[in-house]
Amino acid sequence: MLKAKTSCLLLLIVMVFMSCQKKEEKRVDTLNLNFQEGDLPSLHPHGLMIYLRGISLSKNIYEGFTRIDEKGLPQLAGADSIDVTPDGLKYEIHLRENHWTDGSLVTARDYENGWKEALSPTSNCPRADLLYMIKNAEQAKKGLIESGSIGIQSLNDQTLLVELAHPSPHFLELLAQPICAPLADVKEKEPKKFNGPFQVAGWKHGDYLNLKKNPNYWDKDQIVLENINIYMVQDTMTAFTMFEKGQIDWVGVPLVPLPIEIISRLEEKKALKSHPVDRAFWVFLNTLSPPLSSPSIRQALNLSFDRKAITDHIFTGHPLKKPLPDALLSIEPAFEIEENLVLANQEFELGLEELNLTRETFPPLVITYSQQAGRKQVAEYLQQVWSKGLGIEVKLEPQEWNIFRVNLGTGNYQISGSFEAAFYKDPLELMQKFATLGPNNFPQWTNPEFIEIVNLARNEVDPDKRINLLADAEQILMEDVPFIPICSDEFIFSHHTDLKGYIFDCVGACDFSRAAF
């Protein structure tokens, strides 16, 4: 018996010794990332549009006509040159010579097919609406018109002609997004060919996604990295431990938002980095839900608290003094949003009169919030300030993300806050959601003056006139308050000390293709 016991013990010791970790040297040609929010359902560029880590990934495996640089400006990438007519409606795009991973040439047809597939009424492209600035795109998606009438036409293998429905100064920025990527074969649900700086070397669902440098890429000499390994560890602390041990080189957005505990740990080590993004937190007010139908009541809610408390303690970023962050629309408004309890109470009294209510008969308001970081605290803060400042009773209701999202779109809520992000630096993109009724118009708001100005701006060619019209539209948003602007967003992250060369775009996705140690 003793022999058996001893040999068991010896075996155990040997096993432990054998599996001991050897210190691994950091390979400078390999970037290790972690998709903490889980694996991506698909590598199809249309599907990647809805995940920040998906858009980041697509910048590595696909090459659109343009690519965003460090200054946030679109630079020519898949295109050699782009000619625009003076009315801003027609774009002639000349392709650069670039190849798919199987060696075949990337043609204008590949782009045309990809975009038309997104606009097909039977395809599942969730953000097809981003292409609606193209002539007849919206009608084609709704099945009202043949795809042949869409303003996308390949003149030959190397030239694509695009006709817009209305001028858009930011079309070139949109071209850098994955929705505008070319598709080698539209029938493939999972693309097998890639034309970007990297290609897929191996993908085990839920486990890892490995990329390796694409030898057929036109700009391959600029690419320093040889491999990008993407893990899928979903536990926050485990991923952070791997980061501290140097097993992954990046933690935080765009791959995953950082929780408070980790932010403070990183702050101590002075390893925290930040980057401004064109995202804003807006608290939507359902204008169809009494008593929020009165603009005065909404204004009262808007002016009765200090946003700095939120940006100091709950969210990162800066308080918003107007609906759109300065990065998107920098024209000074006529007045800024500031805490003013006197004015707020005046507006409140006006609203009460309008609705034939008194402070006693004013019904309690309900704030619904989702489970992400900070939402609960913001809701509690608003509950506090509105109760103290205006004497309004506020109830809070947590909701699971999926339910919360559906309710926002169907108008089944009273007050709900959410982040809104812009895909390109055009204030129109965020504002036009409120110009039509639909699932994107969360406040269910209709304002004829606003709708008119937005339509004028959409069709305005002169950039100065356009921006002034948009500033006027913003003014209406400030006066009518379909939503309460809280703060602009800032992305917080950390990475390996030697990593450089990564580029953020305005929606917050990160281009790692030109990164190096």
Partner 1 sequence: MGDRDFLMTTHFLIKKAFIFVISLTMVITLTFFLMHLIPGDPFMEEQMISEEILKAMHHDYGLDKPLIMQYFYYLKGLFHLDLGFSFKYQGRPVAQIISEAFPISFALGIQALLIALGGGLIGGSIASLYHRKWQDQAILAFLALCLSVPAFLSATLFQYLFAMQLDLFPVARWGSFSHTILPSLALALFPFAYLARLARTNIIEVLQQDYIVTARSKGLSQWEILYKHVLKNALLPVVAYLGPLIAAVFMGSFVIEKIFGIPGLGQWLVTSIGNRDYPLIMGLAIFYSFLLMGFNFLVDCVYYLLDPRIKKGESNG
Cα 457 to chain center, whole Å? 24
Contact 457, 428 (CB under 8 A): yes
| Residues between 90 and 109 with contacts to partner 1, criterion CB under 8 A | none
Confirm or reject binding of residue 347 to partner 1 (CB under 8 A). Answer: no
Please say which residue, 44 or 466, places its beta carbon nearer to partner 1: 44
Stretch of residues binding partner 1 (CB under 8 A), selected from 96-104, 226-234, 262-270, 279-287:
226-234
**The binder of partner 1 chosen from 7, 75, 124, 340 (CB under 8 A):** 124
Confirm or reject binding of residue 50 to partner 1 (CB under 8 A). Answer: yes
**The binder of partner 1 chosen from 26, 27, 220, 245 (CB under 8 A):** 245
Confirm or reject binding of residue 247 to partner 1 (CB under 8 A). Answer: yes
**The binder of partner 1 chosen from 13, 237, 288, 461 (CB under 8 A):** 237
Confirm or reject binding of residue 27 to partner 1 (CB under 8 A). Answer: no
DSSP label of 426: -
**The binder of partner 1 chosen from 146, 157, 185, 235 (CB under 8 A):** 235
**The binder of partner 1 chosen from 87, 103, 122, 360 (CB under 8 A):** 122
Q: Is 156 buried (19+), middle (13-18) or exposed (0-12) by CB count in 10 A?
A: exposed
Q: How far apart are CA 107 and CA 105, in angstroms?
A: 6
Confirm or reject binding of residue 134 to partner 1 (CB under 8 A). Answer: no
Confirm or reject binding of residue 7 to partner 1 (CB under 8 A). Answer: no
Cα-Cα end-to-end distance for the chain: 57
Question: Which residues on neighbouring strands pair with residue 430, listed in sequence order?
Answer: none
Instruction: Give the shortest CB-50-to-partner 1 separation in angstroms.
Output: 5
- In the chain, the amino acid numbered 351 is G
**Which helix or strand (DSSP H or E) is residue 29 part of?**
none
Confirm or reject binding of residue 146 to partner 1 (CB under 8 A). Answer: no
Q: How far apart are CA 63 and CA 207, in angstroms?
A: 26
Confirm or reject binding of residue 405 to partner 1 (CB under 8 A). Answer: yes
Cα 461 to chain center, whole Å? 27
Stretch of residues binding partner 1 (CB under 8 A), selected from 136-144, 162-170, 326-334, 468-476:
136-144
Please say which residue, 49 or 329, places its beta carbon nearer to partner 1: 49
**Cβ contacts of 404 within 8 Å, gap of 6 or more:** 368, 369, 370, 416
Q: Is 506 buried (19+), middle (13-18) or exposed (0-12) by CB count in 10 A?
A: buried
Q: How far apart are CA 47 and CA 466, in angstroms?
A: 32
Instruction: Give the shortest CB-439-to-partner 1 separation in angstroms.
Output: 5
Please say which residue, 122 or 356, places its beta carbon nearer to partner 1: 122
Confirm or reject binding of residue 19 to partner 1 (CB under 8 A). Answer: yes
Q: Is 421 buried (19+), middle (13-18) or exposed (0-12) by CB count in 10 A?
A: middle
- In the chain, the amino acid numbered 110 is D
Stretch of residues binding partner 1 (CB under 8 A), selected from 209-217, 218-226, 240-248, 373-381:
240-248
Q: How far apart are CA 281 and CA 372, in angstroms?
A: 13
Confirm or reject binding of residue 10 to partner 1 (CB under 8 A). Answer: no
Q: Which residues bind partner 1 (CB under 8 A)?
A: 1, 16, 18-21, 23, 38, 41-42, 47, 49-51, 121-122, 124-129, 141-143, 189-190, 204-207, 231-235, 237-239, 241-242, 244-245, 247, 400-403, 405-406, 409, 438-440
